[in-house]
Amino acid sequence: MREIQVNKMYERLKRIIDCSFAGLGLLLLAPLMGLIALAVALDSPGGVFFAHERVGRYGRKFKVLKFRTMVQNAPRLGGAITAGHDPRITRVGRLLRATKLDELPQLWNVLKGEMSLVGPRPEVAKYVQLWDPHLREQVLSVRPGITGLTQIRYRHEETLLAQQPDPETYYREVLLPLKLQSDAEYVQRRTLLYDLYLILRTLFALFERSETAQTASQQK
């Protein structure tokens, strides 16, 4: 009973923090987001934002918002997997993806309650179907996050995929199970202090060596 009460308190406090910081972030970052939107519009034809369907809490599907980093109609020109050398990525898009600034619009997803500041990585439906059923239930019991343990560990995923002769197969057979295990680990460890730690890790992630290649090589 006490564990249930603690979890409820954590969920309430986390939602308050999510709404407060997402709202403040959208307000303070509005000028920067305006400049990014202008850069995206001037760099290539197409809309400023890109909405991609992902699987959220309890299996509910929702649209993840991002600044567009690829050419118009990119999904029709290739698959869901994006490698570092993908020709669909625009010049401004490469900068946005490298700095993760393309994900700023997801603060709106947080305000709507579809996402959290910290949580498992939101995944595409066709890959969620490949998850281990037991771990899938765990991971989908919480809101996906803008950042999180998996987002930090596999930050340079696109670079690693670019080194593979078959990125799609490598993603499904190697990276997808690793990321699922990482997301499940977060769900088991989550606390407000751990969430704060992951946010701080995210701020320093640009200067850290990628853990992806090391982790993947250990699994071979």
Q: Is residue 98 part of a domain?
A: yes
Domain count, the chain: 1
Provide the residue range defining the domain that includes 106: 19-219
Helical pair 30-43 and 2-28, crossing angle rounded to 10 deg? 70
Task: Give tens-digit pLDDT for 158-198.
Answer: 888 888 889 899 999 999 999 999 999 999 999 999 999 99
Q: What is the mean pLDDT of the chain?
A: 88
To which H or E segment does residue 219 belong?
A: helix 212-219
Residues of the chain with pLDDT below 50 are 1, 3-4, 209-220
pLDDT number for residue 158: 84
Q: Is residue 161 part of a domain?
A: yes
pLDDT number for residue 185: 97
Q: Is residue 160 part of a domain?
A: yes
Query: Global pTM?
Result: 0.84
Measured from the Cβ of residue 54, the count of other Cβ atoms closer than 10 Å reads 21
Amino acid at site 64: V
Q: Is residue 177 part of a domain?
A: yes
Q: Is residue 206 part of a domain?
A: yes
Say how far apart CA 18 and CA 63 lie, in whole Å.
Answer: 18
CA 158 to centroid of chain Cα atoms: 13
Q: Is residue 3 part of a domain?
A: no
With a CB cutoff of 8 Å and minimum separation 6, the contacts of 57 are: 114, 140, 141, 142, 143, 144
Q: Is residue 14 part of a domain?
A: no
- Nearest in space to 216 (alpha carbons), one of 144, 139, 163: 163
Say how far apart CA 109 and CA 64 lie, in whole Å.
Answer: 7
Q: Please calculate the CA angle 166-172-174 and round it to the nearest 5 degrees.
A: 85
Q: Is residue 68 part of a domain?
A: yes
pLDDT number for residue 59: 96
On whether the CB atoms of residues 142 and 120 are closer than 8 A, the answer is yes
